[in-house]
Structure 1
């Protein structure tokens, strides 16, 4: 007898990230003593998020091919710069308004500059490539190989520093990007290692998601659902417009820009990593994790509809197919 666990999880938008995160949060809320009671390897599953993420970023870096074509550099580079640029501008604005601490009361309780920047900074690569496969061209799919550089906490730390908030020591900044760089070097030196490491990416997602969720108490974040909904809508609206315009400026039809207006599932891991590098962000990290996870779900649902609408308006007809796609092995690692 077979139980379709994987299929059931994948029916939920961003399910491989969201479902384990929720399970961990439920256990932290109702049976918080579980990791201490069992200890050993069982306890390590509840507390090993950063270790798993370190390996995750090495594997993800290995999928980045530095020998990209000029078109991919132009398309992917433009979307990358615009996406992180929008996050940086919002980081400066909300950094001056909110500072480091999350909002302590009222409807917006839990929202923070950290949550906003983490949600805006990263693109859902799997969703982007799927949409480009339907509405774009093969080379538009390949543009994501460069956009993968958004991944991880490095750019979020830089943005928070630029916003004039609490600075990070250079060791923390370098340490945040070293695993990704190590993966890039390994993957570009040996294609077989690239393929080997790429296969591990989707496997690690539910495990670090569960560990992140085990640090959340749902009784303290009961409002995050509505706030997460609003944050997700904001990600789509605020980033889709400049991404659409930028894509048009470089000669595209705007569809690729809209397809990139999403939040990546692994962005939910960024607040915890930032807090581990600078404890001043610890009060905001738990709420930010839930908010970003909710934003992932919202953007995963909204972006396909918006992309389809824009593609219809501009008359885009997808030319990419599975047989013609470039070998972009980073495809499975985003939600």
Structure 2
């Protein structure tokens, strides 16, 4: 059976398929973890420890010796993405209630959901797109996008926009596994290769555990809103990213559009923030469902739009050259 090949045909499949399998388990068999106990319960309820190992391996896989072009390109995209998410958070915090919208079409929408959907780029999706439509240096720009992975950027945005107050130890705790992995990976290339390989292996496991925190009934209620959120992410972050890519990164906007997705790992952030700050726990499940839908929408639309834009720009350049 070609199970992995089938999963790979789905954008972000290694994240999304286990996520929805976990959501099905939680929706129809919510007590299965307690029933089986032991290691099975640990796998079902182990989102945070599995993510901790993943952050460590992700950090270990990053080589500090990146070229100047890669650093300029990735730095431009990462800073722009974070800046846009901060502006959205600042505005949303003054419009939306702290516990999110409770009724009507926008029920479930919260500032936490908006930040989580917009502050992280799907680095794997970006790299695969740019390998086909960009240069090697542009594809390598995903190296700094790994820094966005995890709750740290979300915490910084929420803290600086006045949404929440985090104790310094929580910031350290959120980034410490990543920093230790990064240090070890750059002190020893063999360790970088060894741990770096494990980062992809961990994705289905934390995705399944995360899915076991999601009730599919919530996704059903927020489905169309989640689709709108995904489209909004592409528009709201994509335009500034394309401008930054052209004006600062030296590109033609293709890399910026390719970076306008919602990262699969962003699905974990509402839950983690909810665990840190109880006042956000009530909106965490709906935010998780919205972000999960946004991941699917952007994973499908961003490659299509990037391919169209790349071909358009190449055609335009050829007509000018002629």
Which bin holds the TM-score, normalised by the shorter protein?
A: over 0.9
Tell me the equivalent position of 1:189.
187
1:255 aligns with 2:254: yes
Is the Cα–Cα contact under 8 Å of residues 61 and 197 in structure 2 kept in the other structure?
A: no
How far 1:274 sits from its partner (Å)?
Answer: 1.1
Is the Cα–Cα contact under 8 Å of residues 19 and 207 in structure 2 kept in the other structure?
A: yes
CA distance in 1 between partners of 2:212 and 2:110 (Å): 21
1:311 aligns with 2:310: yes
Aligned-residue CA RMSD in angstroms?
Answer: 1.5
Tell me the equivalent position of 2:11.
13
Closer/same/farther in 2, CA of residues 190 and 255 from structure 1, 3 Å limit: same
Tell me the equivalent position of 2:290.
291
Closer/same/farther in 2, CA of residues 12 and 207 from structure 1, 3 Å limit: same
1:93 aligns with 2:97: no
CA distance in 1 between partners of 2:39 and 2:225 (Å): 35
Tell me the equivalent position of 1:321.
none
Closer/same/farther in 2, CA of residues 237 and 59 from structure 1, 3 Å limit: same
Tell me the equivalent position of 1:152.
150
3-state SS in 2 of match to 1:200: helix
Is the Cα–Cα contact under 8 Å of residues 103 and 110 in structure 1 kept in the other structure?
A: yes
1:278 aligns with 2:277: yes
How far 1:11 sits from its partner (Å)?
Answer: 2.7
| Aligned match for 1:109, one of 107, 110, 120 | 107
How far 1:316 sits from its partner (Å)?
Answer: 7.6
Tell me the equivalent position of 1:132.
130
CA distance in 1 between partners of 2:315 and 2:283 (Å): 42
Unaligned ranges ≥5, structure 2: 317-322
CA distance in 1 between partners of 2:220 and 2:54 (Å): 30
CA distance in 1 between partners of 2:204 and 2:24 (Å): 15
Give 4+ residue runs of structure 1 displaced > 3 Å after superposition.
none
1:24-35 correspondence to structure 2 within 5 Å: 24-35=22-33
Unaligned ranges ≥5, structure 1: 318-335
CA distance in 2 between partners of 1:223 and 1:94 (Å): 22
| Aligned match for 2:57, one of 48, 56, 59 | 59
CA distance in 2 between partners of 1:45 and 1:70 (Å): 41
1:200-215 correspondence to structure 2 within 5 Å: 200-215=198-213
3-state SS in 1 of match to 2:43: helix
Closer/same/farther in 2, CA of residues 35 and 316 from structure 1, 3 Å limit: farther
CA distance in 2 between partners of 1:22 and 1:41 (Å): 20
Tell me the equivalent position of 2:319.
none
Is the Cα–Cα contact under 8 Å of residues 76 and 245 in structure 2 kept in the other structure?
A: yes
1:267 aligns with 2:266: yes
CA distance in 2 between partners of 1:141 and 1:316 (Å): 21
CA distance in 2 between partners of 1:11 and 1:103 (Å): 35
Structure in which a larger fraction of residues adopt helix = 2
Tell me the equivalent position of 2:41.
43
Deviations 1:141-163 (A, max 9, x none): 12221222111100101111122
1:238 aligns with 2:236: yes
Is the Cα–Cα contact under 8 Å of residues 62 and 187 in structure 1 kept in the other structure?
A: yes
Paired positions, count: 315
Deviations 1:240-262 (A, max 9, x none): 11011111112211111111111
CA distance in 2 between partners of 1:293 and 1:10 (Å): 18
Is the Cα–Cα contact under 8 Å of residues 122 and 150 in structure 1 kept in the other structure?
A: yes
Tell me the equivalent position of 2:72.
74
Tell me the equivalent position of 1:224.
222
CA distance in 2 between partners of 1:302 and 1:173 (Å): 33
3-state SS in 1 of match to 2:95: helix
